[in-house]
A and B are shown apart, each in its own frame.
Chain A
Amino acid sequence: MNTIIETKEVTIKFGGLVAVDSVNLVQKKGEVLSLIGPNGAGKTTLFNLLTGVYKCTSGNIFFDHNKITDLKAHERTRLGIARTFQNIRLIKSMTVLENVLVAHPDCQNESLLKSVLSPGKANKKRREVVDECMELLKIVGLEEMESEMATSLPYGKQRLLEIARGLATKPKLLLLDEPGAGMNNFEKEELTDVIHYITQEMKVTVLIIEHDMKFVMGISDRIIVLDHGQKIAEGTPAEIQTNPRVIEAYLGSGEFKDEEDK
């Protein structure tokens, strides 16, 4: 009953290519679910379907038991689906704090008439918004860098900033597209702590795409494996590690390897 997101036979075709092929996915509230699979397996495409960047050719998507298949991307964000991007999409001309501010619903909903005619009145609300956003920056450990330009941050920190920005939209479900890409081991540990904090303290459910197996196995409650757009396996990290189909499709050889070996 307490599922947060569910897809039923979701399919998308680009011309003749079936990028995602009747995938069924169910995620419970509070569960950390990971999507893994070789390059081009359709993981990011599935994310784009969930967030509404693409419309599915057939199938349905349910969020919190409501059908969201026909909703536009920004409407889904308002319902509570936030995401980060594989290729970082921060706003280049804005500072770290401003990048989080613009994601805050109260900042976006500020009426133009009010802010033009009486900015003094709008300031009270603005202070609350800034306070909230600074809290989020604290969670990802960027509160000291609030006034730096977003793009001047190191790569790993930019990824954390994207997470903070996603959280600012007040999501129930946060989709992380390769959050650990380009991070060193130390930064990955930081990231693990952040994700634990998000799921346990903030009660936001997290769905992750990740290539680093050590990271995935450590953090996930359950894993779904995609290959050529199809779901080939589903289970706990221990089950996935021993699943012969996964080993064949994803890892190639007979034994489990680290990311460096790929």
Chain B
Amino acid sequence: MNKVKDLLKTIKSIRFTKWQKMIFLIALIGLIVSAPYIITDNYILHIVILCSIYACLTLSLNMIIGWSGQFSLGHVCLYGMGAYITTLLMTQTGMNFFPATILSTAFTSGFAMLLCLPTLKLRGDYLAVITLGFGEVFRLFLTNSVSITRGPAGIPNIPDPVIFGYVISSKQAYFYFVALIVILFVVFMKRFNNSGFGMAMIVVNEDDIAATALGINVKKYKLLGFALGGGMAAFMGSFYAVYMGMISPTSFAYAESIKMVSMVVLGGIGSIPGSILGAVLLTALPEVLRAFSEYRMVIYGALMVVMMIFRPEGIWSRSSRMLNEYKIKAFENYKKK
């Protein structure tokens, strides 16, 4: 275990030069572009796309749990809201995917803030229970308001997104689309994490009394954390809707929230690579274990228990934040003087 820790430490301490970064970036782009040609099996491509969706969802939930420090068990509410609003706008008004997504993302962000308002004073378990309630209420709303959401039947035939006249409909096209979204999300989270705003949010997360003593408005950061996470989840919900072509309340059940929380906790609370790792592992693992049929949930469960015993802070914990670029970039300049 110590060897693994040392290895992780050395990996984290590596700093790349500009050229190495460029080469890495080109290799990454090459890999993404060639991936659909290498993976010819549509099923595997589908799993890869699902992994990407969950990676983004985990990042969005990590924004709420890991950065703004609010343990939410109702993430599916924001995710589903994004999916349903986009779908309704597209099927009812014939709007294109992109404006519909922008609208639903904005609306869900606002709604997330509203949800957060009454829970500002709650912490830990209490907040978890309340958010769990939000998730359930939302699912029941979807199931019962048949006139709007068609109830348990769901909404089928969601049109494909059109970008500059090109219709994204094949698995390959969706793969490129989701790869772009993942890159955007990671860049956003990284820059957010390295910004003064992100640092202030970490202070709020760790110690709100110290935060107020430093002039940080705790309420503002908690609300914005929820809004950002909610917006990101809604965006992914919209993507999920057009990708699947059909949505129903069962896709947004309570188990989905738990799955996302497991991904956050397993990967590492407040860590960007951790979120992606957790999402990929927990999405791919049940598929890989399919060969063991009835034993797969046992193996899956045992693995979670082992993880929690040996690495309770997650596979890739927050300590990677020591490489904060806000500090490093500015500090290198300080040393030159």
Contacts and interface: CB of A to CB of B under 8 A. Distances in A.
A and B held together in a complex: yes
Contact of B207 (A89, A110, A127): A89
A130 B215 contact: no
Given A97-B327, A115-B191, A102 B319 contact: no
A255 B136 CA distance: 69
Given A102-B203, A112-B195, A129 B330 contact: yes
A127 B318 CA distance: 24
Contacts of A119: 191, 194-195, 325
Q: How large is the interface on A (under 10, 10 to 19, 20 to 34, 35 or more residues)?
A: 35 or more
B214 A109 contact: no
A38 interface: no
Given A115-B197, A134-B334, A102 B213 contact: no
Contacts of B212: 52-53, 72-74, 77
Interface string A113-155: 0011001001100110111001000000000001001000000
Which of B192, B197, B217, B319 counts the most A-chain CB atoms under 10 A from its CB?
B197
Nearest to B221: A108
A128 to B, nearest CB: 8
Contacts of A77: 212-215
Contacts of A95: 322, 327
Interface string B177-214: 00000000000100110111101101100110111111
Interface string B285-324: 0000000000000000000000000000000001101101
Interface stretch (A4-12, A78-86, A224-232, A240-248): A78-86
B213 A108 contact: no
Contact of A74 (B199, B217, B319): B217
B192 A89 contact: no
A169 interface: yes
A103 B202 CA distance: 12
Nearest to A122: B195
Contacts of A110: 195-197
A112 B322 contact: no
Which of A90, A123, A130, A169: most chain B Cβ within 10 A? Answer: A130
Contacts of A94: 199, 202
A92 interface: yes
B333 interface: yes
B334 A106 contact: no
A107 interface: yes
B24 interface: no
B330 A123 contact: yes
B126 interface: no
Contacts of B215: 74, 77-78, 103, 105, 108, 169
A180 B42 CA distance: 67
A108 B327 CA distance: 14
Interface in A54-94: 72-74, 77-78, 82-83, 85, 89-94
A44 interface: no
Interface string B155-179: 0000000000000000000000000
Given A115-B195, A119-B194, A127 B324 contact: no
Contacts of B192: 112, 115-116
Given A101-B327, A130-B334, A107 B196 contact: yes
B194 A131 contact: no
Contacts of A108: 196-197, 200, 214-216
B19 interface: no
B206 A93 contact: yes
A93 B214 contact: no
Contacts of B191: 115-116, 119
Given A93-B202, A98-B199, A126 B207 contact: no
B141 interface: no
A206 B164 CA distance: 64
Contacts of B321: 93
A165 interface: yes
A72 B333 CA distance: 37
B218 interface: yes
Contacts of A101: 196, 199, 326-327
B331 interface: yes
B121 interface: no
A51 interface: yes
A146 B327 CA distance: 10
B195 A89 contact: no
B178 to A, nearest CB: 21
Given A91-B202, A101-B326, A134-B334, A83 B196 contact: no
Contacts of A51: 213
Given A93-B202, A102-B200, A102-B216, 15 more contacts: A52-B212, A74-B218, A85-B210, A91-B210, A97-B327, A98-B324, A101-B196, A101-B199, A102-B196, A102-B202, A108-B216, A112-B192, A119-B191, A126-B326, A129-B196
23 contacts: A51-B213, A73-B213, A74-B211, A74-B212, A74-B214, A77-B214, A77-B215, A85-B213, A89-B213, A91-B202, A91-B207, A94-B199, A98-B199, A102-B199, A103-B214, A107-B196, A108-B197, A112-B195, A116-B191, A116-B195, A119-B191, A126-B326, A127-B330
Which are the 4 A-B pairs with shortest beta-carbon distances?
Answer: A115-B195, A110-B196, A77-B215, A73-B212
Interface of B: 188, 191-192, 194-197, 199-200, 202-203, 206-207, 209-218, 224, 318-319, 321-322, 324-327, 329-331, 333-334
